[in-house]
A and B are shown apart, each in its own frame.
Chain A
Amino acid sequence: MMRSYLQNKFGNPSNLYKLGREAQRAIEDSSEKIAAVLNCQAKELIFTGSATEANNLAIAGVARANKDKGGKIIISNVEHKGILAVASYLKQEGFETIRLNVGENGLINPEELKNILAEETILVSVTYADNETGSIQPVGKMAEIIKEFRKKHSCLTPYFHTDASQAAPYLDLDVERLGVDLMTLSGHKVYGPKGIGALYVKKGIPINRLRSGTENVPAIVGFGEAVKLAEKEKKSEYQRVKKLRDKLEQGIFKIISKVILNGHLAKRLPNFLNISILDIEGEALLLYLDEIGIYVNTGSACNSQSLEPSHILTALGRPHEYVHGSVRFTLGRYSQENDIDYVLKNLPPLVEKLRKISPLKLKLGKKKQ
């Protein structure tokens, strides 16, 4: 589908001639496909270069356009680094950010939101499901609380934004049912192209737009189709992937000792498994697994830019020595049962080898050695 827009249908959508109109039509078609899934209007979608850009637009754009209504923004402490970065940047412009804390299970308590909402709050932005543990936040419940607050104070704000990038392939994206005012989507998380994202902005919400210029037509076309396909197989993929993930999870907990689950046991994306394996360091395990074609991620400090361990796992109250041994497995459309068997066969001996190399003998459940 994308190829024709890279080869013969290369018109600029801003132009009036046939090729231009064709390109414009393609953008509209793609918007319609996404709008159908989100249960919104095509005009309520803004295409961006990534989910991070969409998040920046949602937060900075809404904050700047609503500064007259107040200067407070609420986010959570398990947001993607991009959200933390834009929130911290907005401090320079005089905005204040308040963070909701998650519990040990990775979830926000909606009651806590009730307690900190204030008339100066212009925006609440909470991830639908975070990118490390995949824990699913009570977005619907939070939307209710925000609506109640707006009604009680007869005001338009706060607006409610959620980053649905990770959640998109598996969870409900109906913005009416969820009750969100803004929502971020990412192209490659739904098996579309990279370098494309979108922000849903409910009609009438003031927002300072940042992006201008010619649209990336081929990517938009691919994105729309990907969202449509992902929606079609959402239910069956949810079940299929969850079955594989559960097999992996149960297998690991059965074979390997001293493992803990990071994130919520049930309220979690079906393709996420984040665990801490005690006594070993995540980056070392990552590289051992990489060598045999198993690709995982870790929240260990050694693997990060800042040399700080994952802020999401520390937000769950995990001690640093647990975070250093964290490994995230993610499954997807192309994961098969034999992949799970391959991991279950090869992971335990590598863990055993690294434990032989390690001098640690941490006790499960105890905070310090």
Chain B
Amino acid sequence: MKKRKPDVINKLAGGSWAYSKIVKSHFFSPRNLLVEDPDKLQFDAEGIVGSPACGDVMRIWLKIDPKTERIKEFKWRTFGCASAIAATSMLSVMVTEKGGLKIDKALQIKPQDIMKRLGGLPERKIHCSVLGDKALRSALNNWFKKTGQFGRIIVEGLKILDPHTKVTEADIEEAVLAGALTLEEVQQRTKVGIGYPQCLPEVEQFIRFYKEKYFGGGGGK
């Protein structure tokens, strides 16, 4: 990946505000967007994640070949900022290119993989890309249910965020409920990401999500 010189550096946050050419391209011309509302039988599975209050909602629709387990179509709609829209668009390309990924391969896609393909995201926008793989898991769970493969269903809360400390999403939820509302406070309780900082954007997203869920928005700072 070629490093571009960012056009602007935010003097407070430090990170670049510049979007890569690829992000811009996917933002201005989204690929695989679902244009018309679908018929009931048009797709094999669908999933949705996020909430309007949090500022990100992703909804996706899949067509899956049951014999080969390849994902043949990935259509989507996203409510969110440029990064969220570009990340969903890029994920749809990654899943369907070269004849479509097999389900197990698709499940291995991490937010970092999407970011890499996008040519990076501004630092403070990284959290916007983490919903994509969750939306995909949600849709594939829907397909597992529909096809009676209950053993393959991925329980979201049990997903390990940090392989070193084995911290899961449920642990983050628990920490937030116990009053840890910032990344530092959650880290004090769970040690999440201390040896594996790659997971921090995702952890922050969960903190934000559960903070919103249990303590509401209102008031601001």
Contact = CB atoms under 8 A, between A and B. Distances in A.
B217 A314 contact: yes
Contacts of A324: 52, 55
A214 interface: no
B8 interface: no
B4 to A, nearest CB: 18
B220 A359 contact: no
Interface stretch (B26-34, B91-99, B149-157, B165-173): B26-34
Interface residues of B, number: 35
B82 A360 contact: no
A359 B55 contact: no
B217 A309 contact: yes
Contact of B208 (A305, A307, A311, A362): A307
Interface string A305-331: 111111100110001110010000000
A356 B30 CA distance: 11
Interface stretch (B62-70, B73-81, B105-113): B73-81
A225 interface: no
A369 interface: yes
Contacts of B85: 284, 357
Nearest to B204: A307
Interface-central residue, A301, A305, A306, A368, by most chain B CB under 10 Å = A301
B57 interface: yes
B158 to A, nearest CB: 26
B128 A302 contact: yes
Interface of B: 12-13, 27-28, 30, 33, 35, 48, 52-55, 57-59, 77-85, 124-125, 127-128, 208, 212, 217-221
Interface stretch (A8-16, A147-155, A187-195, A275-283): A275-283
A288 B82 CA distance: 9
Contacts of A369: 52
A306 B218 CA distance: 14
Given A310-B220, A320-B52, A320-B54, A359 B82 contact: no
B55 A281 contact: yes
Given A287-B27, A307-B127, A311-B219, A320 B78 contact: no
Contact of A300 (B55, B83, B221): B55
A320 B12 contact: no
Interface in A320-369: 320-321, 324, 356-360, 362, 368-369
Given A358-B78, A358-B79, A314 B219 contact: yes
B217 A359 contact: no
Can you list the 5 inter-chain pairs with the closest CB atoms, starting with the nearest? A311-B220, A321-B52, A359-B77, A359-B59, A302-B81
Contacts of B54: 320
A305 B13 contact: yes
A144 B58 CA distance: 52
B52 A357 contact: no
A287 B12 CA distance: 21
A309 B218 contact: no
8 contacts: A281-B55, A281-B79, A281-B81, A283-B82, A306-B221, A358-B57, A359-B57, A359-B77
B217 A357 contact: no
B221 A311 contact: yes
B28 A291 contact: yes
B81 A284 contact: yes
A287 B82 contact: yes
Contact of A320 (B27, B53, B59): B53
B200 to A, nearest CB: 14
A87 to B, nearest CB: 12
A237 B59 CA distance: 47
A359 B59 CA distance: 6
A84 interface: yes
A308 B128 contact: no
Interface in A152-192: none
Contacts of A303: 81
Contacts of B83: 302
Given A291-B28, A307-B208, A320-B53, A302 B220 contact: no
B78 A359 contact: yes
Contacts of B58: 359
B79 A360 contact: yes
Contact of A302 (B59, B77, B78, B80): B80
Contacts of A360: 52, 57, 79
Contacts of B208: 307
Nearest to A310: B220
Contacts of A302: 55, 80-81, 83, 125, 128
Contacts of B33: 356-357
Contacts of A307: 124, 127, 208
Interface-central residue, B28, B53, B58, by most chain A CB under 10 Å = B53
